[in-house]
């Protein structure tokens, strides 16, 4: 017998600690959406167990073999709900110029009318979960609070793994702390007698942000950043608006603590587009003896001048939502160790033994696989068994490389900022910006070959400034200006971090990757640290300082290959600058003059 939502037994919480403004909003949304009942969550283990039981009964979750993967589950989404839908993601600012040309804009009044029409009775037959959460350590001056409403138990459970869900958040709001409203519905109401599906969603999808109101509405999707609103929607799009106003940065960046053989530690923040190796970098096991990399975060960083004037950072999340395909003992042993249990997998394949599998986990696919769509896998079909954007959700506490400082309410001092992307040509293995403003130009002109994490043609090169193109909540030109202003601030309060650019993905004439990557990326980190310490000279080029050499000891990589990795092809750079200028031109009058000046100076250096 299928357990319906009305039969679940999550206990109702008392109303004592519920802030009036939150309660009024929840009551308003409940009146609009008509759920069968309302459940206030506080992140307890009993809540998680009840959510899991509900989804096992409805078929949303399949329990994995507890002997192989204890307390872990597999979810299969609808085939139409497998990735971020950038084309349905909107910034609804009062002035369309405040959203800018890189965002989809709609009039906020018209969008609210549309969304309220869609939300009307959208939760009929379902449970409305109220999920209070903190982004960052509770009580940290760098943290923010929010409340998400959702009718998806999958989302409610995932939020427990991804952010700090706690009833204490409501007490903090009641004491006067500001908070962000996050509304989410899968858009699949149930009438009496309807049989629910395992993954309810709607073909009509909206992920809409209201920056003036600090509010998010999501409708129709239950997948990833479309529905886990504290992640990209809050932590980047809305937080970037807050950050600009308050004088800090909300960035699509990993954070790592690097310790040299001498025992000195450094914090690196690195921006990479999705599915370009952020999680692998964040959990790197260096191949160089004596080096250690510890994880602070793999996806999002909030950077703010601290009381000491130095740029400090926190990871506002409390979990990983990582791309599974390509993750293996060879590429990311720490992640594989982390996924031993207590994990939700989405759209992976299922083995005959009741465990998960995805392309890249092993060289050969095992026999007897069930695909992410629940069908027997035909190896001869050429179709992957797992979806290319299959994911895992797991708490940060399970990461074997987690740094002790990851939860420091004061944040960690940032020593260097790294920008990267997936480029098969043009961009060298590593270079250092000439100064902060030149580094901002490098970040503003980052381009990467598109991956499976977003809509579009795989391999297509697109500009992705600061890896923030899909995630910025306001005009990109104003964002560049804010970065430049942060440099001015940091030059007064403390020395700005040095800025570098990396590219692990250059290919040779046969289309093969030249650089081994993964743990050998520690060789690039060694060079970056040596530059921070002033231990190595560098070669001046048109695009910045590049290595005279890199530590290749123990690598089967010759000097010719190294030269290919570090090559600066003037013709290729010139073409890339032309493409960058075309993109920057779309920002019109909001593009800071300094970015144009940096472009012209790069061209001048190229002609010397």
Active-site residue list: 276
* Spatial separation of the C-alpha atoms in residues 350 and 357, rounded to whole Å: 6
What lies within 8 Å, CB to CB, of 430 at 6+ separation is 500, 501, 502, 503, 524, 527, 528, 546, 547, 550
The one-character DSSP state at 141 is T
Rg of the Cα atoms in the chain: 24
- Give the β-pairing of 356-357 and 391-395: unpaired
- Give the β-pairing of 37-40 and 430-432: unpaired
Q: Count Cα atoms within 13 angstroms, Cβ side, for 219.
A: 24
Cα 77 to the center of its chain, rounded Å:
20
**Residue matched to tokens 């209070």:** 132
- Contact (CB, 8 A) for 126 and 36: yes
Residue 35: Cβ-neighbour burial (10 angstroms; 0-12, 13-18, 19+): buried
Rounded (10°) angle between helices 476-493 and 239-246:
40
Residue 139: Cβ-neighbour burial (10 angstroms; 0-12, 13-18, 19+): exposed
* Spatial separation of the C-alpha atoms in residues 112 and 115, rounded to whole Å: 5
Cα–Cα distance list, 456 to 85, 271, 283, 460 (Å): 10, 21, 28, 8
Which of 140, 189, 208 has its CA nearest to residue 168? Answer: 140
**Residue matched to tokens 């999705």:** 274
* Spatial separation of the C-alpha atoms in residues 151 and 33, rounded to whole Å: 10
- Contact (CB, 8 A) for 536 and 527: yes
- Contact (CB, 8 A) for 345 and 327: no
Map residue 286 onto helix, strand or coil. Answer: coil
116, containing H or E segment = helix 108-119
* Spatial separation of the C-alpha atoms in residues 337 and 176, rounded to whole Å: 41
- Contact (CB, 8 A) for 321 and 396: no
**Which two tokens mark 219?**
């409708």
502, containing H or E segment = strand 498-502
* Spatial separation of the C-alpha atoms in residues 256 and 136, rounded to whole Å: 16
* Spatial separation of the C-alpha atoms in residues 105 and 94, rounded to whole Å: 10
In 10 A of CB 344, how many CB atoms?
Answer: 23
Cα 402 to the center of its chain, rounded Å:
18
- Contact (CB, 8 A) for 451 and 462: no
């Amino acid at each position: 017998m299928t357990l319906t939502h009305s039969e679940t037994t999550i206990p109702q919480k008392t109303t004592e600690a519920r802030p009036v403004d939150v309660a009024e909003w929840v009551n308003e949304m409940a009146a609009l959406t008509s759920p069968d009942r309302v459940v206030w969550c506080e992140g307890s283990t009993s809540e998680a167990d009840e959510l899991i039981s509900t989804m096992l009964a409805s078929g949303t979750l399949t329990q994995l073999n507890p002997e192989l993967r204890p307390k872990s589950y597999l979810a299969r989404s609808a085939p139409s709900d497998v990735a971020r839908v950038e084309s349905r993601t909107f910034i609804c600012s009062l002035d369309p110029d405040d959203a800018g040309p890189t965002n989809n804009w709609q009039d906020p009044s018209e969008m609210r009318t549309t969304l309220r029409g869609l939300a009307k009775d959208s939760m009929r037959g379902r449970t409305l979960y109220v999920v209070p959460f903190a982004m960052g350590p509770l009580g940290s001056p760098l943290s923010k609070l929010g409340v998400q409403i959702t009718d998806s138990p999958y989302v409610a459970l995932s939020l427990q793994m991804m952010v700090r869900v706690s009833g204490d958040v409501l007490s903090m709001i009641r004491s006067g702390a500001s908070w962000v409203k996050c509304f989410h519905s899968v858009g699949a109401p149930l009438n009496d007698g309807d049989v629910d599906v395992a993954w309810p969603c709607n073909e009509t999808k909206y992920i809409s942000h209201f920056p003036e109101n600090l509010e998010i509405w999501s409708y129709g999707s239950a997948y990833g950043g479309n529905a886990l609103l504290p992640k990209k929607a809050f932590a980047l799009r809305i937080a970037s608006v807050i950050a600009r106003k308050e004088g800090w940065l909300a960035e699509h960046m990993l954070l790592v603590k690097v310790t040299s053989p001498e025992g000195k530690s450094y914090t690196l923040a690195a921006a990479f587009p999705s599915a370009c190796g952020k999680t692998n970098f964040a959990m790197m096991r260096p191949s160089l003896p004596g080096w250690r990399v510890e994880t602070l975060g793999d996806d999002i960083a909030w950077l703010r001048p601290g009381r000491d004037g130095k740029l400090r950072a926190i990871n506002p999340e409390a979990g990983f939502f990582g791309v599974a395909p390509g993750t293996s003992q060879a590429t990311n042993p720490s992640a594989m160790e982390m996924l031993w249990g207590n994990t939700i997998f989405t759209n992976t394949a299922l083995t005959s033994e009741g465990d998960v599998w995805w392309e890249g986990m092993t060289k050969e696919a095992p026999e007897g696989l069930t695909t992410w769509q629940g069908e027997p896998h035909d190896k001869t079909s050429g179709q992957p068994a797992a979806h290319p954007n299959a994911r895992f959700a797991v708490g940060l506490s399970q990461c074997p490389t987690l740094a002790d400082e990851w939860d420091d309410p004061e944040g960690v001092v940032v020593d260097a900022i790294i920008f990267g992307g997936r480029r098969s040509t043009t961009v060298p293995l590593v270079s250092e910006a000439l100064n902060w403003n030149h580094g901002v130009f490098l970040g503003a002109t980052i381009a990467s070959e598109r991956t499976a994490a977003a809509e579009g043609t795989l391999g297509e090169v697109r500009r992705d400034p600061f890896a923030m193109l899909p995630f910025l909540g306001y005009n990109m030109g104003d964002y560049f200006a804010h970065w430049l202003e942060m440099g001015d601030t940091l030059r007064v309060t403390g020395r700005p971090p040095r800025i570098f650019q990396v590219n692990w993905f250059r290919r040779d004439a046969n289309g093969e990757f030249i650089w081994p990557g993964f743990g050998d990326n520690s060789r690039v980190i060694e060079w970056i640290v040596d530059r921070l310490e002033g231990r190595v000279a560098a070669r001046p080029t048109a695009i910045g300082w590049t290595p005279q050499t890199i530590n290749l000891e123990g690598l089967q990589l010759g000097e010719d290959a190294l030269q290919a990795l570090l090559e600066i092809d003037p013709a290729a750079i010139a073409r890339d600058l032309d493409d960058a200028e075309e993109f920057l031109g779309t920002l019109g009058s909001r593009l800071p003059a300094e970015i144009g000046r940096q472009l012209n100076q790069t061209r001048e250096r190229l002609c010397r």
